[in-house]
């Protein structure tokens, strides 16, 4: 009996130390900006909506971050706020947005010796016109930081830092969309 | 039936235990007033926000929430808008990279009617920005713990010193000027002896800072 308990306790400790799964859980606010007088469509691929970041490098603890639903929610909020009208399909939209996650990186307090969980997200965002022709194609990097507070779990820290990074992407996208050179040129060209 | 002298002994031990459970700490609060303040406790609100533009100034989220709770308490309790509600409603204008660091910048933001209307809907009279942190400045001692199928336990003694420094800048949203600043410095030593079970005697440095800061900001605003 003692042997079974030892094995169970050891097993649980090893499992807890070696792998973890965190679901990024948040509701994104609708940005408070003036809408572009055009119709927009957000093309979220199934891979994007179901994306999980899986950390399996040998020198770091295994970690899975379920990011798909959260990043989809963020881009939906942004798209709703950017355009005066939401189009039902890419063919009926003035502009179609096609986001793709380029990279997800994180740093834990125990790795850096700092008091923060940190997350970097890099997205590639393509904007296409009605005919599917590219209007713009650019990379956006977001950064999020969460204070490592006492008794806070790793999951809570990673979640908070990732949400901050997503919000940072949303901030840059909403405030910078019309200022992006190719988008600006296209808006001017179409008298929008 | 407990004998009277035994009851007295028990009370002394309980008082001693309570005193020991709270580590030693000290708090210093300073205030700098720049303008008179006034608030209608029935209709005006305040919002407490943590600075996040740099790790060096970033106040902890639980400290910001604690100060907000402290401002709501007592007979002169203020109506405080929850920070998350305010920041979400004004997204993305109060994010770490966009939050106004100066009143001039806030004034520029308010040129946008969409923002002005959103802030007006909260009836905000004062925006209180908090920056600072609580840090462990020194630690000593040691403790070793073992766990086995038959049980576990710890043996040793640890102690550490925490220091916190926070400053609150109070912006008058109606007059668009800084009303004043309140700062708090707190320090304390915590102990954790362990004989089988570790028993922490915590100096509640951050909590003491929160109370000092909250009470002082409340009187600063209400008593003008």
Q: All domains of chain A, ordered by start, with CATH?
A: 21-189 (3.40.50.10610)
- What Å distances lie between residue A114 and A85, B65, B187, CA to CA? 45, 23, 21
Minimum CA–CA partner of A117 in chain B: B55
CB pairs under 8 A between A and B: 58
Q: What number of CA atoms fall less than 13 Å from residue A107's CA on the CB side?
A: 13
Residue B62 at interface with chain A, using a CB cutoff of 8 Å: yes
**B149 vs A contacts (CB less than 8 Å):** 2-3, 5-6, 9
Looking at CATH, the fold of the domain delimited by B24-136+163-185+204-222 is given as: Rossmann fold (3.40.50)
* Residue B207 to residue B217: CA distance in whole angstroms: 15
- Chain A interface, Cβ < 8 Å to B: 2-3, 5-6, 9, 29-34, 114-116, 145, 147, 149, 164, 167-168, 170-172, 174-175
Which residue has 């969980």 as its token pair? A117
List, run by run, the mean pLDDT of 10-residue segments along chain B (224 residues): 56 58 80 95 95 82 94 95 96 94 94 92 96 90 87 90 95 95 94 89 91 96 90
Most A-contacting residue of B53, B149, B206 (CB-CB within 10 A), to test interface? B149
Select from B89, B98, B149 the Cβ nearest to the Cβ of A6: B149
Residue B60 at interface with chain A, using a CB cutoff of 8 Å: yes
Q: What DSSP string describes chain A?
A: -HHHHHHHHHHHHHHHHHEEEEE----PPPP--PPEEEEEEE---HHHHT-EEEE--TTS-EEEEE-HHHHHHHHHHHHHHHEEEE-SSSTT-SEEEEEEEEEEEEE-HHHHSSSEEEEEEEEEEEEE-TTS-EEEEEEEEEEEEEE--TT--HHHHHHHHHHHHHHHHHHHHHHHTTTSHHHHHHHHHTT-
**A6 vs B contacts (CB less than 8 Å):** 148-149
Cβ atoms of B106 and B124 within 8 Å: the answer is no
B176 torsion bin: left (phi>0), alpha (psi -120 to 50), beta (else) = left
Determine whether the interchain pair A171/B88 forms a contact, defined as Cβ–Cβ distance below 8 Å: no
Other Cβ atoms within 10 Å of B89 Cβ, number: 17
Q: What is the pLDDT of residues B40-62, one digit of tens each?
A: 999 999 999 999 887 777 888 88
Q: What DSSP string describes B150-186?
A: TEEEEEEEEEEEEEEEEEEEEEETTTTEEEEEEEEEE
Q: What is the pLDDT along chain A (192 residues), one digit of tens a residue?
A: 444 454 444 444 444 556 889 999 888 999 999 999 999 999 999 999 999 999 988 888 889 999 999 999 999 999 999 999 999 999 999 999 999 999 999 999 989 888 889 999 999 999 999 999 999 999 999 999 998 876 678 889 999 999 999 999 999 999 999 999 999 999 999 888
Element spanning B193, H or E: strand B177-198
Determine whether the interchain pair B98/A171 forms a contact, defined as Cβ–Cβ distance below 8 Å: yes
Cβ atoms of A83 and A40 within 8 Å: the answer is yes
Q: What is the pLDDT of residues A148-179, one digit of tens each?
A: 876 678 889 999 999 999 999 999 999 999 99
Task: Return the sign of the alpha-carbon dihedral for residues B53, B129, B137, B144.
Answer: negative
Determine whether the interchain pair B91/A29 forms a contact, defined as Cβ–Cβ distance below 8 Å: yes
Q: What pLDDT shows up at residue B203?
A: 85
Element spanning B142, H or E: strand B124-148
Determine whether the interchain pair B92/A6 forms a contact, defined as Cβ–Cβ distance below 8 Å: no
Determine whether the interchain pair B55/A33 forms a contact, defined as Cβ–Cβ distance below 8 Å: no
Determine whether the interchain pair B147/A9 forms a contact, defined as Cβ–Cβ distance below 8 Å: yes
Give the tokens for residue B47.
Answer: 């919002």
Determine whether the interchain pair A32/B60 forms a contact, defined as Cβ–Cβ distance below 8 Å: no
The yes/no answer to whether this complex scores an ipTM above 0.90 is: no
Q: What's the start-to-end Cα distance of chain A, in Å?
A: 76
Question: Which residues touch B26 (CB under 8 Å, ≥6 apart)?
Answer: B186, B187, B188
Provide the residue ranges of all domains of chain B, joining segments of one domain with +: 24-136+163-185+204-222
Question: Which residues touch B49 (CB under 8 Å, ≥6 apart)?
Answer: B64, B83, B86, B87, B94, B99, B127, B128, B129, B130
Q: What pLDDT shows up at residue B4?
A: 55
Task: Return the sign of the alpha-carbon dihedral for residues A104, A110, A113, A115.
Answer: positive
**A151 vs B contacts (CB less than 8 Å):** none
**A174 vs B contacts (CB less than 8 Å):** 92
Select from A29, A34, A147 the Cβ nearest to the Cβ of B58: A147
Q: What pLDDT shows up at residue A48?
A: 97
């Amino acid at each position: 009996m003692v042997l079974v308990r030892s094995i169970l306790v050891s097993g649980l400790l090893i499992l807890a130390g070696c792998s973890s799964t965190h679901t990024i859980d948040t509701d994104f606010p609708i940005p408070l900006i003036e809408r572009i007088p055009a119709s927009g469509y957000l093309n979220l691929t199934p891979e994007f909506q179901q994306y999980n970041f899986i950390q399996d490098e040998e020198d770091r603890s295994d970690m899975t971050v379920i990011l798909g639903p959260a990043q989809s929610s963020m881009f939906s909020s942004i798209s709703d706020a950017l355009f005066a009208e939401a189009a039902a399909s890419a063919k009926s939209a003035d502009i179609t947005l096609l986001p793709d996650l380029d990279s997800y990186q994180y740093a834990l307090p125990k790795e850096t010796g700092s008091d923060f969980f940190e997350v970097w997200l890099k997205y590639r965002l393509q904007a296409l016109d009605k005919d599917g022709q590219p209007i713009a194609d650019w990379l956006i990097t977001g950064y999020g930081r969460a204070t490592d507070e006492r008794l806070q779990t790793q999951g809570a820290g990673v979640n908070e830092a990732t949400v901050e990074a997503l919000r940072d992407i949303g901030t840059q996208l909403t405030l910078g969309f019309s200022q992006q050179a190719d988008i600006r040129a296209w808006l001017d060209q179409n008298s929008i | 039936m407990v004998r009277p002298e035994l009851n007295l002994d028990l009370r002394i031990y309980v008082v001693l235990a309570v005193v020991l459970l709270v580590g030693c700490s000290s708090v210093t609060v300073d205030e700098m007033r720049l303008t008179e303040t006034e608030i209608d406790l029935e209709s005006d609100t305040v919002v407490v926000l943590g600075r996040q533009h740099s790790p060096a100034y970033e106040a902890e989220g639980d400290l910001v929430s604690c100060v907000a709770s402290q401002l709501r308490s007592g007979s002169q309790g203020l109506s405080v808008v929850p920070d998350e509600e305010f920041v979400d409603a004004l997204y993305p204008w109060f994010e770490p990279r966009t939050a106004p660091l100066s009143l001039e910048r806030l004034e520029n933001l308010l040129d946008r009617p969409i923002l002005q209307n959103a802030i007006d809907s909260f009836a905000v009279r004062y925006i209180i920005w908090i920056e600072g942190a609580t840090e462990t400045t020194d630690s000593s001692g040691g403790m070793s713990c073992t766990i086995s199928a038959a049980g576990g336990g710890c043996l040793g003694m640890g102690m550490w010193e925490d220091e916190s420094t926070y400053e609150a800048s109070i912006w008058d949203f109606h007059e668009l000027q800084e009303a004043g600043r309140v700062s708090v410095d707190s320090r304390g030593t915590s102990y954790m002896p362990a004989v089988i079970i570790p028993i922490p005697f915590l100096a509640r440095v951050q909590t003491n800072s929160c109370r000092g800061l909250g009470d002082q900001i409340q009187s600063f605003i209400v008593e003008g």
